[in-house]
Structure 1
Amino acid sequence: MEVESQVLDERKEFVCYNSKNESSRLRCDENSVSGAVSQRACVYCGARVVLNPITDAFHLIHGPIGCASYTWDLRGSLTSGSEIFRNSYSTDLSETDVIFGGEKKLTAAIDEIVEKFNPKVIFVYATCIVGIIGDDIDAVCKKAEEKYSLRVIPVKSPGFSGNKASGYRAACNAILKLIGNKKSKNKINGINYLGDFNLAGEIWVVQSYLKRIGIEVVAKITGDGKYDELIKAPEAKLNIVQCAGSMEYLGKKMEEIYDIPYIRVSFLGIADTENSLLQIASILGDEDTIKKAEKFIEAEKAKIQKTIEYHRKRLIGKKAAIYVGGGYKAISLIKQFNELGIETVMVGTQTGKPRDYEIIKNITKEGTVILDDANPYELEKFMLEKGADILVGGVKERPLAYKLGVAFCDHNHERKHILSGFEGAVNFAEEIDLTVNSPVWKYV
């Protein structure tokens, strides 16, 4: 169905009303339309999002000091070990370095980090300026590795060279370089957990579920990840991918290099948590493991049933708008809203793929607005048009929702509370109920 003329002509193919009878595909997975004030971030941002939660890694930004301000310190990724990942290190390139080159400055910065901290691994990020002036960070990193016998990994992430998804791939390639190309003959009956960044400690929740049904986590990539864990990743028998937008590429590459199959999972919402646990148990476990999983799921669902039903009664008939990073998260959120009796009337993502949008199309109603890489104007227009009662998004969308007098739920990296697993399903229902049914909306 055609989108109204207020949307930029260049954006019309990225926005549609769901029609079950139309076979046309939404355009996606492309660079942002110039001038559209896209919500999507740059290549460097995407790389940093993926790599930063590795707790004992040093992150050296080769570029102006402003790029180094993009850190995880204000975000919800937690650690069970080192806190060093919360710091950024920068070569602080100036006008003189742009003219004469910054390789000497980068070498000096690596020397200083090694001298002061004795690191296991340093990631060196190329920013926009480095992409323009042509510093050879590969050569600098290689020399540093030879000199100090430690891992110094270049991350090719000049911001102008693509979009956030390009940064995800750059980070995944850096992880592969860190792990190496050797296959493991001694396999552990466990999984690598890809694409969870341990927001509020969510990876520990899922890890505890898996432990209770007898499944080991070999490497966490990258939430609460550690160098010694990462290099053992080829020993796992299965990769599970939570954030497909950032890590499905890594799953595919690890299948190709290490013969480790992967599956896409989600621990957002009761249904997806149950399905993911059963899927993992059936692939890695025997009949006893599957029975343990079924018994565990049954017990956990029984604990939360009354609470979920209470909130559901207060939320039935409400309308939700979703704008998040990845397509798989959006799909899980639509299912969660369905569990609470809430209809999703608008859904968009920053990095969704064609397969994600096909699933979204199938699980939402006719007329639901579907957007890729939206701008604030589009979000505002369709939220008002569809009468959304709540917007689920990230910190950038919060002011927009409140300006429109619409409730808001932060589902991004900045949050400090668990939204995964059975515990997270309760937290999500409580938060949605509190914000949607807040008395404040009577006065707006």
Structure 2
Amino acid sequence: MELKSLPEVLEERKDFIFCKDKNHGNSMKCDSESVSGAVSQRACVYCGARVVLNPITDAFHIVHGPIGCASYTWDIRGSLSSGDELYRNSFSTDLREKDIIFGGERRLTGAIEGIMEKHNPKVIFVYATCIVGVIGDDVDAVCRGAERKYGIPVIPVKSPGFAGHKSMGYKAACNALMDLIGREKSPKVKGINILGDFNLSGEMWIIKDYLKSIGVNVVSQITGDAKCEELKRADGAELNIVQCAGSMTYLAKRMENEMGVPYIKVSFFGIEDTVSSLMNIANALKDDEIIKRTKEFIKEEVRKMDKVFDKYKKNLAGKKAAIYVGGGFKAISLIKQFEELEMETVIVGTQTGKKEDYEVISSLVKPGTVILDDANPYELEQFMNEKGADVLVGGVKERPLAYKLGVAFCDHNHERKHPLAGFIGAINFAKEINLTINSPVWKYTK
């Protein structure tokens, strides 16, 4: 299939779409601003910042902007908490026309005062949205004044939506986290930080249980089920493991350069990546006892998986999968998971993948596979029909598209209610893919 000959694809978008060929590598464009008019599936800078910081359970979040921004990201991730649930609320300065004309700094000061009067926050994050970037409120000055007055961290998050795309929001959130982590130097302890798992359906707890079984202590969780006091001790860990590379690699690099904490990338999606991640952690810690316990733990867990997977392979072998997710690392793991189920991936797309991610993706898929960066719904529809996809794995925005096409769907984002990480997550994933693809409803919709 020659992509350049497809009239349906916008001319400006053709460099962001790649069809793997037997004789050619990956030459696609990525990590750029969305093409105007393409109705990108990406979220804005503010949204990217909010998804990273929202799961801190004892933090308060003030959205400095119109009420729509706060409602858009209310409880944006289904992150579970072992403690307080108040973090699920959004607090907004609710800027109106008068505030936009005369400035909204007084409303922001009043919002901080209101929270301090009614609650006992450990930290407050203040998000500057699009309109604040336009009118020029000095959010930094308001936050500094509040810190002096109340004696707690009040941290500005510079995230006007027009300043870039979702990845820029991740960076803004990481800078805010560094502001919190770097305030006091912590003593070095044996243990690691988990970066980039947001505890969707309790997945952080699953990973922590695995690490406990092999003898690894967790110093802090960044950011699923996180607590401010734990985050402040993160600089004392001996290693960072990065689950969501797109959102947290920047933070890991800053902590390595400024605090001397090395990092490795991991993924707990699928059997292969879970096994390799546990071994990589054990090897990075250079502890013979941990390495031994890890090998024993993996052997026992994989033994349990074999019988379970055999029954699903019979139903799924030869089926075709389409993937459209946020980051490249998750897409890579999903390709491997479909291989474990003897399925073929025919479309792979991400919102924020980097060139190195797409090079790995290209090496994993078969010739003829379509690879997309920052796709729009029309492109996804065209290529899913072209390739005859049986299932789409995506997020909340992709679900209606799949169902309208009469294609099975698996939510791999924040709306799901069951874990997809670790060995138990691999079983849940296989079970869900089997149920949705082989549902009798599809013979009535096509």
1:242 matched to 2:253: no
Runs of 5+ consecutive residues of structure 1 not aligned to the other structure: none
Q: Which residue of 1 aligns with 2:354?
A: 353
User: Which segment is superposed worse, 287-296 or 124-133?
Assistant: 287-296
- CA deviation after TM superposition for structure 1 residue 127, in Å: 0.4
Q: Which residue of 2 aligns with 1:41?
A: 43
Indicate conservation of the 8 Å contact 1:75/1:415, yes or no: no
Q: Which residue of 1 aligns with 2:32?
A: 30
Q: Which residue of 2 aligns with 1:435?
A: 436
Runs of 5+ consecutive residues of structure 2 not aligned to the other structure: none
Q: Which residue of 2 aligns with 1:76?
A: 78
Q: Which residue of 2 aligns with 1:219?
A: 220
1:189 matched to 2:193: no
Distance 1:181 1:342 in 2: 49
- CA deviation after TM superposition for structure 1 residue 22, in Å: 2.1
Distance 2:154 2:405 in 1: 47
Q: Which residue of 2 aligns with 1:262?
A: 263
- CA deviation after TM superposition for structure 1 residue 302, in Å: 1.2
The residue type paired with residue 313 of structure 1 is: K
Distance 2:75 2:47 in 1: 14
Distance 1:189 1:89 in 2: 37
Q: Which residue of 2 aligns with 1:131?
A: 133
The residue type paired with residue 423 of structure 1 is: I
The residue type paired with residue 387 of structure 1 is: G
Partner of 1:44: helix, strand, or coil? helix
User: Which segment is superposed worse, 130-139 or 17-26?
Assistant: 17-26
Q: Deviations over 1:273-301 (max 9, x none)?
A: 00000000111142221111011111111
The residue type paired with residue 442 of structure 2 is: W
In the superposition, the TM-score normalised over structure 1's length comes to 0.98
Partner of 1:219: helix, strand, or coil? strand
The residue type paired with residue 101 of structure 1 is: G
Distance 1:158 1:286 in 2: 45
Distance 1:409 1:427 in 2: 11
- CA deviation after TM superposition for structure 1 residue 19, in Å: 2.2
Partner of 1:304: helix, strand, or coil? helix
Residues 107-256 of structure 1 correspond to what in structure 2 (within 5 A)?
107-180=109-182, 183-184=185-186, 186-256=187-257
The share of aligned pairs that are identical, in percent, is: 68
- CA deviation after TM superposition for structure 1 residue 75, in Å: 3.7
- CA deviation after TM superposition for structure 1 residue 190, in Å: 1.0
Could you tell me which of 5, 19, 25 is aligned with 2:21?
Answer: 19
Partner of 1:50: helix, strand, or coil? helix
The residue type paired with residue 51 of structure 2 is: V
Distance 1:55 1:267 in 2: 23
Partner of 2:148: helix, strand, or coil? helix
Q: Which residue of 2 aligns with 1:51?
A: 53
Q: Deviations over 1:319-358 (max 9, x none)?
A: 0000000000000000000000000000000000000000
The structure-2 alpha-carbon separation of the partners of 1:24 and 1:332, relative to structure 1 and needing over 3 Å to count, comes to closer
Aligned residues: 443
Indicate conservation of the 8 Å contact 1:20/1:361, yes or no: no
Indicate conservation of the 8 Å contact 1:38/1:375, yes or no: yes
The residue type paired with residue 99 of structure 1 is: I
Partner of 1:188: helix, strand, or coil? coil
Q: Deviations over 1:193-246 (max 9, x none)?
A: 000000000000000000010001101000000001000000101000000111
